[in-house]
Amino acid sequence: MLLHHPEIGSLKCSDCKRWIYDIKTGKKLERHGEPQRRKPGTTLPCATCPRESPEKEAETTLMPCNEKTLMLYLAVRGGAALTQEESEDPIIRRNFAMLQIIHDNWRQRNQANELTQGLMAAGMFGKQHG
């Protein structure tokens, strides 16, 4: 969730039930500097949320230790340096290798989706030739 939708990756459904959030930014909406509580019984934005429902929260939320690892991985990809100890840690090295595979697969999927959408927009699909 953090790679695909970083704006809401750490947002908890229970918080969304209590407070009004902008799903596009993951920030609480404020009025006069105060966060806005969601009134009981109001429709939740699950239909527009990438999580789709509170039932999917567990499968779309990283455990805190894994979130820390992902944040460290992204920081290193952004140019931060690992300490000597971190760079020699076999668990960090293994986790970074797995994250690289996940990231590469995600990027390839996005590129394929963009190509397909471009071809569809250009009328390359759905027409019979011959």
Tell me, what's the pLDDT at 117? 82
Per-residue pLDDT of the chain (130 residues; tens, 9 = 90+): 666 677 777 788 889 899 998 888 888 999 999 999 999 888 888 888 888 888 888 888 878 888 889 889 989 999 999 999 999 999 999 999 999 998 898 888 888 878 888 888 887 765 555 5
Tell me, what's the pLDDT at 1? 65
Pick left, alpha or beta for residue 33 (phi over 0 → left; psi -120 to 50 → alpha; otherwise beta): left
Tell me, what's the pLDDT at 126? 59
Tell me, what's the pLDDT at 129? 55
Q: How many CB atoms lie within 10 A of CB 1?
A: 19
Q: Give Cα separations from 97 to 20, 41, 68, 72 (angstroms).
A: 37, 45, 15, 13
DSSP-derived secondary structure letter, 48 = G
- How far apart are the C-alpha atoms of 125 and 86, rounded to whole Å? 49
Residues 6+ apart with CB under 8 A from 38: 16, 17, 18, 19, 20, 44
Contact status, residue 1 vs residue 103, Cβ threshold 8 Å:
no
DSSP-derived secondary structure letter, 35 = E
Indicate whether this model's pTM tops 0.75: no
Cα angle vertex 47, ends 3, 1, to 5°?
10
Tell me, what's the pLDDT at 3? 65
Question: How do the domains of the chain map onto residue ranges?
Answer: 1-60, 62-130
